[in-house]
Structure 1
Amino acid sequence: MDPSPSTPDAPIPKLGWIGLGSMGQAMALNLQTHLSHTNSPPLHIYNRTAARGQPLLAIGAISSSSIQALLQAVDICFIAVSDSNAVTSIINTILEVPAADLHQKIIVDTSTIAPGTSAWAQGCLRERGASFVAAPVFGASPIAKEGKLLVILAGADKAVKAVEPFLVGVLARKTLYLGEDAAKASLLKTTGNFLTAGFMELIAEAHVFAEKTGLGSDALESLVEHQYGPLPFAMSKRLTGGFYLPKRDERPWSDLNLAVKDVGLGVECAEKVGTRLPVADLVLSHLEEARRYGEVNGRALDSSSMYGVLRERAGLGFESEVVRRRDGGDGGLSGL
């Protein structure tokens, strides 16, 4: 059953969306599809590159000329952008909306940002009579397309309740609510990114070990599937399927540059409280090495591309056999 966007006595809220990268576009498409199916008002969208909005306009969304124009037309506005700087810029632009037009609006940020940025945004918007809900998501773009993300929520209870009908069954498989402090959601997302990156590093190392010893990837992947569960298995398939090094004309499932930013956030948060994340330091060094490889070879890389770095260090070559076959043997890629 589709979640109900309102009670019989309450008007259906008008929704907006800012940011149409790989994740944002996938989530916005699911949301507009849901709004169409429930005869709700269409989604208002804004993105700096207007062409990214074409798939949404084709299914009924409405384009806004500016962030301010979008805010004045909606009750709830979702944000999906790349980093804290982008969120800060958008919030500052939102704060330029006249106070009377901003009153009781709800801003929902799905981005992965520093906890301090979430706390700042929540405080600034509260002063203007608006609400901020931190709602960072777990899942790469294929999971976003399926509407099966895990959403971490933090914000005022009333605002969260207003947003929830548009999450589970639309964008997400489940939500976790952490209370009113928006910074807690960003902190849990940062912690989760550290865990994810560590798991990926471990699985990548194991696959290189399996190839070098002659055990083979198939045997290892079978063990991962049946002993360690669906998340490590999905990570393993990301490597063995060649997705760590996308085709030249394809976007990565999860951009390497964002992974560097996300793991770096964990390192920074740890330093601020007087501790360290040694595994994160190791992962970050491998991601930085992969980024240099991508720059030299003009390739967009996935966040799992530490696998290629580990392969090269073991004398196997950045490209796996699966990648070479997929690309027709047209590697010609230089080393680091």
Structure 2
Amino acid sequence: MTTINSEVGWIGLGSMGLAMAQNVHNFLKSEKKPALRFWNRTPSRGDPLLALGAVSCVDIVLLVGRCDLVFISTSDDAALVSIIDQILAVENIDGKVFVDTTTVHPNTSKATGDRLTQRNASFIAAPVFGATPAAQAGQVLMAMAGPSSAIEIALPFGKDVIAREVMVVSDQPEKATLLKALGNFIVAGTMEIVGEAHVLAEKSNLGSGTLEKLLQLNFGNLAYSDSTRMTQGVYMPGEGESPWSNLNLGIKDVQHGISCARDAGMRLKVAEVALEHMLRAKEFSDSNGGRPLDSSSGYGIIRQDAGLEFENEFVKNRDEKGRRNSF
């Protein structure tokens, strides 16, 4: 039987995964529990965890063999399926609990749960809401769905460890990822609206600063945070910097929402507009040497469609300063 005293494992160390894994390891350490065991396809991504005292595993089979509670954080549906294939190669996974924090299609969550249940293991879909800085601070929101007995085991690692709060959604894993798809739709729609408003403010000489103050005072943290991602250049990170939320993953997330709506017999028209801008932002990235862009970079396309440059003044000044400092 899995308990909080069992060894805990973590699979996948992207920017979000690494941040959450560090918080889990620090929690285990504070509770005087065994160190977190981890695996990542690129082993060097685990160096910060090694420095904290976590234990690297050479493969997924070894990690799962040692751990009764395993968290997964990977990039997309195909990557999750590949990881589950490797987990199922372990001879005995009876009673183990697997918690997937990845944003995947609800159908993928359902299929994953079915596969693991057939092997007497438990599966929880637990996607998180928030970008990398929130994950680093343990301030994401987590939605959990799965068997109540498994959720009881995973919950101690939720609130005040990985997340600021945990929503227990359902006993069906796919309901958590459906909620995440809806959340991503709201985020993408808000980015679209805020981006268009900023371009209008700039074109009409009202000024981005004035609009941003309005968003801060009257429209809540989501709209204000999206605004600062634009005005502070997060939408187009500086050379060598990583995006808060990778554009390619953002495209995947919005596509999932559109697919869920189609399955329900409706359309998310705002999401379709946002997706068009995100896909064109990817084309811009590809034509600029594959420069990484944030999921908010549809703002740059809105600028171009209005006759402005993709880069706003903040980005141009920052990049020019970076070029001068490189000499």
- Structure 2 CA distance, aligned partners of 1:135 and 1:240? 32
The match for 1:304 is: 296
Aligned runs of 1:59-208 on 2, under 5 Å? 59-98=52-91, 101-208=92-199
Task: Give the one of 298, 303, 308 matched to 1:316.
Answer: 308
- Structure 1 CA distance, aligned partners of 2:210 and 2:170? 44
SS at match of 1:242: coil
- Structure 2 CA distance, aligned partners of 1:144 and 1:227? 26
Cα distance 1:317–1:329, how it changes in 2: closer, same or farther (>3 A)? farther
Aligned runs of 1:210-249 on 2, under 5 Å? 210-249=201-240
Deviation at 1:13?
Answer: 2.1
Instruction: Return the letter of the residue paired with 1:171.
Output: I
**1:55 partnered with 2:55:** no
The match for 1:25 is: 18
Cα distance 1:296–1:11, how it changes in 2: closer, same or farther (>3 A)? closer
Deviation at 1:314?
Answer: 1.3
Instruction: Return the letter of the residue paired with 2:217.
Output: H
- Structure 1 CA distance, aligned partners of 2:165 and 2:6? 22
Instruction: Return the letter of the residue paired with 2:16.
Output: M
Deviation at 1:11?
Answer: 6.1
- Structure 1 CA distance, aligned partners of 2:140 and 2:321? 35
The match for 1:334 is: none
- Structure 2 CA distance, aligned partners of 1:123 and 1:246? 40
Deviations 1:247-277 (A, max 9, x none): 1201100000001100011111111222111
- Structure 1 CA distance, aligned partners of 2:195 and 2:65? 48
Deviations 1:84-111 (A, max 9, x none): 111111111111111xx30000000000
| Pairs aligned (count) | 321
- Structure 1 CA distance, aligned partners of 2:117 and 2:243? 37
- Structure 1 CA distance, aligned partners of 2:282 and 2:169? 34
Instruction: Return the letter of the residue paired with 2:304.
Output: E
Q: Give the alignment's TM-score, normalised by structure 1.
A: 0.93
Superposition CA RMSD, Å: 1.3
Structure 1 outlier segments of 4+, above 6 Å: none
Deviation at 1:307?
Answer: 0.8
Q: Give the alignment's TM-score, normalised by structure 2.
A: 0.96
Deviations 1:209-268 (A, max 9, x none): 000000001110111011111111111111111100001201100000001100011111
- Structure 1 CA distance, aligned partners of 2:105 and 2:215? 32
Task: Give the one of 267, 271, 285 matched to 1:294.
Answer: 285
Instruction: Give unpaired runs (5+ residues) of structure 1.
Output: 1-5, 332-336
The match for 1:260 is: 251
- Structure 2 CA distance, aligned partners of 1:12 and 1:21? 26
SS at match of 2:160: coil
**1:38 partnered with 2:44:** no
SS at match of 1:327: helix
Indicate conservation of the 8 Å contact 1:197/1:283, yes or no: yes
SS at match of 2:52: coil
Between stretches 194-203 and 31-40, larger displacement belongs to: 31-40
Instruction: Return the letter of the residue paired with 1:132.
Output: F
Aligned runs of 1:2-21 on 2, under 5 Å? 12-21=5-14
- Structure 2 CA distance, aligned partners of 1:208 and 1:256? 20
- Structure 1 CA distance, aligned partners of 2:319 and 2:32? 45
- Structure 2 CA distance, aligned partners of 1:293 and 1:210? 24
SS at match of 1:17: strand
Instruction: Give unpaired runs (5+ residues) of structure 2.
Output: none
